[in-house]
Structure 1
Amino acid sequence: MRLSTPLSAVLGATSVLALAATAAVATPSSNQPAAPAASQPDQQQIGAEEILPWRTKDDSVTATADEVLGSTGGMRSFGADQQQALVVVRATASGPAIETHKTKNRADAKAVITAAQADPNVLSIETAQAVNAEAINDQYYGQQWAMSTLRVEEAWKRSNGSGAVVAVLDTGVDTDHPDLAGQLMPGRTFLNGAQSAGAEDDFGHGTHVSGQIAALANNGIGIAGMAPGARILPVKALDSRGNGWDSDVASGIVWATNQGAHVVNLSLGGPNRSAAVAAAVRYAQSKNVLVVASSGNSGSAIVNYPAAENGVLAVGAMDSATQPASYSDYGPHLDVAAPGTQIYSLRMDGGVRRASGTSFASPHASAAAAMLFGATSGKVRGRNAYLILAGTADDVGAAGFDERTGFGMLDPNEALEKAACVAAGSCSLPMPNVSKNINQQVAQHVWLDLMGRPHDGAWVYRWGNAFDKGTKPSVLSGRLTASSEYRRGRIAGYYRTFLSRTGVP
């Protein structure tokens, strides 16, 4: 099978954003009273407002441990990788000493609080809080409408994808791009059945995708990647025209999985199913790797492969008005939608460009998966990440699942909140309401494509299969298993497979 990635790039004039920071300097007026002499070395007064001594103790010193930790029962994360941390401030001769205590769980945190409160030199105890720059200074950040639509800066308070490895199977990557400095792992090329070291881009598509995921943030140039803490594992499986073969894509998926990728992004596809790619996808899934793929750009009601493969997160494109893009392929295999129109990212020559296509919707989902991995220290990945990203999507289309937007618009913040809860064991994985009609031409059997944990036998489903000439559907009921399928091998033809949840046993 020949796989092609037609690039709907819209190249236009872009403006350089000049960001300037101004500081307001207050000058006391001549009629203000003179500041009295400080009564002690660490106290001062500005205007009429008295500044308390730095040795003043916070209420947390006498509060209960539960009050310090908060009434929600959870603790805020400290940065992307230091979860469940407490900050203790202790008075010393040279000023306040700031101590960060990483804790394993709530009981451990309470022990730290009790010990700190017994020390008379402790001034305060609190849960660590994430902070971020007031303004992102990347040159074209203001043009990245997807970042504001997906509320990425808010999501960065929980995770920037640190620790995650995202394999980008594409046309390669510009390894010298300054906005990807330090973000790239050694890559590999798979073309025409041969392989070689390196993955240099000679078309531009892969550089664009890689930039969306992990371009450096707040470095004053280019754009900001959605998961700038993640690393890119580049795999070149498409040539200088954006074309390739299924065998090379399959080889690249297997190689990336064996190299430790946590997410595989496939901004590519074709109309026909490839057994080789399907086998590679299943291998990746067996290693707890999430495979994310673009739905296709023909505007048809058929999702391309490999996005249509079971367990692959199929991503369609939305425009800046949060409407399904006219070119975005749709159908019952679509899982979520994400921004894909007029997307700014990196260009091969070290610059920036903008382009449209489902190829540029998929990277947002891959970046979100990397953020889930980073926020949970790898506890949420693979199939769990798939369920969380689909199960927390913002239902922007028709109520429930719909073929234009799947389960809805990607929502990184909701996904991160759910991932934290799942990782802590405080809640179960989401189970979206399932009601899919699946139309497909088959020769021997119809596979059920559904949302649900493969190992979960708790939900009762009914499913059926009807020949298109009006044969009455056969309706079965039972428990979902990892290999549930309904086979009908006697008649080849066009079938409709339907699935709906009917209850809990």
Structure 2
Amino acid sequence: MYWENDISSTLLHTKFPTVFPTSISLTAFPFFGEASAKGPLQESKQVTAKVEKDKYVKGEVIVKFKDSVSIAKQNKTVETFGGEILSDSAEGKSPFKVLKVGNVEAVVKALNKNPNVEYAEPNYILSATWTPNDTYYSGYQYGPQNTSTNYAWDIARGSSSQEIAVLDSGVDYNHPDLATKTIRGYDFVDRDYTPMDLNGHGTHVAGTAAAATNNSTGVAGMAPNTRILAVRVLDANGSGSLANIANGIRYAADYGAEVINLSLGCDCASTTLESAVNYAWNKGSVLIAAAGNSGVSTTFEPASYANVIAVGAIDRYNRRASFSNYGTWVDVTAPGVDIASTVPNRGYSYMSGTSMASPHVAGLAALLAGQGRSNSQIRQAIQQTTDKISGTGSFFRYGKINSNRAVRY
């Protein structure tokens, strides 16, 4: 069923011009017509999340000492390389240390040969990058309908006692479609508890996953009743260090978030990142991640890790988006082309990318979590109920998510 005053039901009868100017008053069109939401309609953008190979924080190395190694031995080892231990993560729970060193490559190589060290690697920089996309599709928020989520809402709408952790550039927790839904988690960029979004990426992701729904305002979230835990790990430029992201994953898991959305990643295999993913999985979280937007079959991390559901992007016609990474390492697909969602300063915008596909799956995971399912049961329900579309079995292992079938699985 459609809820009568949902934006998802009423907008189906409104047509927009194919191309918009880059700046339009939101009050000029029915979609952005609420009197309180004023601001420019931002141009459609293709959003990806990646890191340039070998790009890392200058002079910083992540090292994980073996559990049996004493603090004294750890400090002595660090001193041997002329390094300095930087401050640990929030609440001092990080299992690894970040070192300030001179020659990153040389220190990483030497540390990995040290018998006291479990692993060492550069403190890579992960980022969400934006590429303009000038084309608007004639429709708008087609994601819930395309994935049969409107029918799933008859069975499950999530739970207000549960959270989708959005690890991203923060969330605009003053946005009218997010204010009542958002929990202010930790800001790993500014080291405080005000994870305000200064970029826009995280707010858009949060709106797709769990914007306030059935409130006659803006857009509908995939998980109407589930709350959003905002964890800021990307800065105003959309970039974030490996250390902050790994610690952010652990923070969300320790908080108890049932679902963790990661619309970010890198093309660099990282023990730090995979360890954080495994930690969260073992704590009971289900992790969803974007497959990347390079249009290649190369794996993209953390999406490719065993304990993560990798999400590719399709358009409204169930065609694989040309920018979406592909291969049997990609688990499922979801709408990721011209997705309408929330942006900072009370706004709404269309964006494209696997970053936009991932929160559709995170929202479905939240519906299933609200039914009392474990992370392994959630993953099984999502994967075993997909719609087989063109590319299933080659471009992605399963197919397009089907929320209605999943909540009844």
Query: So what's the TM-score if we normalise by structure 2?
Result: 0.67
Structure 2 counterpart of 1:381, which letter? Answer: S
Using the TM superposition, give the Cα deviation of residue 383 of structure 1 relative to its aligned residue in structure 2, in angstroms.
1.8
Alpha-carbon offset, residue 397 of structure 1? 2.7
Shift of 1:181: 2.3
Q: Secondary structure at the match of 2:177?
A: helix
Equivalent in the alignment of 1:252: 248
Task: Indicate the SS of the match to 1:389.
Answer: helix
CA contact (8 A) 1:169 1:266 kept: yes
Match of 1:328 among 302, 317, 324: 324
Aligned partner (choices 370, 381, 390) of residue 374 of structure 2: 381
Give, in angstroms, the shift of residue 14 of structure 1. 10
RMSD: 1.7
- Using the TM superposition, give the Cα deviation of residue 12 of structure 1 relative to its aligned residue in structure 2, in angstroms: 7.3
Identify the residue that residue 161 of structure 1 maps to in structure 2: 158
Change (3 A) 1:338 1:169: same
Question: 1:144 aligns to what?
Answer: 141
Number of residue-to-residue matches in the alignment: 285
Kindly state the Cα deviation for residue 220 of structure 1 after the two structures are TM-superposed.
1.7
CA contact under 8 A between 1:394 and 1:408: conserved in structure 2? yes
1:308-362 deviation line (CA, Å, top 9, x unaligned):
1112000000011101100000123110000000000001110110000000000
Structure 1: 5+ residue runs without aligned partners?
16-141, 419-505
Q: Give the secondary-structure state (helix, strand or coil) at the position aligned to 1:306.
A: coil
Quote the Cα distance in structure 1 between the aligned partners of 2:148 and 2:334: 12
Please state whether the residue corresponding to 1:359 is helix, strand or coil: helix
Q: Deviations over 1:130-154 (max 9, x none)?
A: xxxxxxxxxxxx7211121112221
Alignment of 1:5 onto 2:116: no
Q: Which residue of 1 aligns with 2:185?
A: 187
The whole-number CA distance in structure 2 between the counterparts of 1:408 and 1:326 is 16
Q: Distance in 1 between matches of 2:132 and 2:230?
A: 21
CA distance change for structure 1 residues 213 and 11 in 2, over 3 Å: closer, same or farther?
Answer: farther
SS at match of 1:385: helix
- Return the offset for 1:13: 7.9
Say if 1:281 and 1:221 are closer, same or farther in 2 by CA, change over 3 A: same
CA change 1:385–1:170 in 2 (3 A) is same
List aligned pairs for 1:336-351, cutoff 5 A: 336-351=332-347
Conservation of the 8 A alpha-carbon contact between 2:137 and 2:338: no
Give the residue type in structure 1 aligned to 2:214: N
Are residue 413 (structure 1) and residue 409 (structure 2) matched? Answer: no
Tell me, in whole angstroms, the C-alpha distance in 1 between the residues paired with 2:378 and 2:130.
28
Report the equivalent of 2:37. Answer: none
Equivalent residue number for residue 461 of structure 1: none
Q: Is the 8 A contact 1:170 1:206 kept in 2?
A: yes
CA deviations on 1:106-157 (whole Å, 9 max, x unpaired) are xxxxxxxxxxxxxxxxxxxxxxxxxxxxxxxxxxxx7211121112221100
Q: Is the 8 A contact 2:329 2:396 kept in 1?
A: no
Q: CA deviation at 1:7?
A: 2.6
Task: For residue 313 of structure 2, give the secondary structure of its aligned residue in structure 1.
Answer: strand
Cα distance in 2 between the residues matched to 1:8 and 1:257: 31
Separation in 1 of the partners of 2:131 and 2:213? 26
Amino acid at match of 1:293: A
Residues 10 and 230 (structure 1), Cα distance of their counterparts in 2 relative to 1, 3 Å cut: farther
| Aligned position for 2:168 | 170
1:207 paired with 2:203, answer: yes
Contact between 2:136 and 2:338, CA under 8 Å: does it hold in 1?
Answer: no
Classify the secondary structure of the residue corresponding to 2:157: coil
2:356 aligned residue: 360
Shift in Å at residue 291 of structure 1? 0.6
Distance change >3 Å, CA 410–CA 13, structure 1 → 2: closer
Distance 1:174 1:10, change over 3 A: farther
The alpha carbon displacement at 1:218 in A equals 2.0
Contact 1:369 1:381 in 2 (8 A): no
Q: What amino acid is the match of 2:405?
A: E
Q: Does the 8 Å CA contact 1:11/1:354 hold for their aligned counterparts?
A: no
Secondary structure of 1:196 counterpart: coil
Q: Structure 1, residues 193-213: CA drift from partner, whole Å, max 9, x if none?
A: x63212100000000000001
Secondary structure of 1:361's match?
helix
Q: Displacement of 1:381 after TM fit?
A: 2.8
- Asked if the contact 1:319/1:341 (under 8 Å) is kept, the reply is yes
CA distance in 2, matches of 1:200, 1:168: 12
Aligned residue type for 1:7: W
Which of 264, 268, 271 is matched with 2:264 structurally? 268
What runs of 5+ residues in structure 2 fail to find an aligned partner? 1-123
- Separation (CA, whole Å) in 2 of partners of 1:393 and 1:8: 29
The alpha-carbon distance between structure 1 residues 214 and 373, as it changes in their structure 2 partners (threshold 3 A), is same
Distance 1:341 1:8 in 2: 13
What percent identity do the matched residue pairs reach? 39
Greater RCO structure (CA 8 Å; 6+ sep): 2
TM-score (norm 1): 0.55
* Structure 1 residues 9 and 383: CA distance shift in structure 2, 3 A: farther
Return the structure number with greater helix share: 2
Report the 3-state secondary structure (helix = DSSP H, G, I; strand = E; otherwise coil) of the residue aligned with 1:143: coil
User: Does the C-alpha gap of structure 1 residues 9 and 291 become closer, same or farther in structure 2, counting only changes over 3 Å?
Assistant: farther
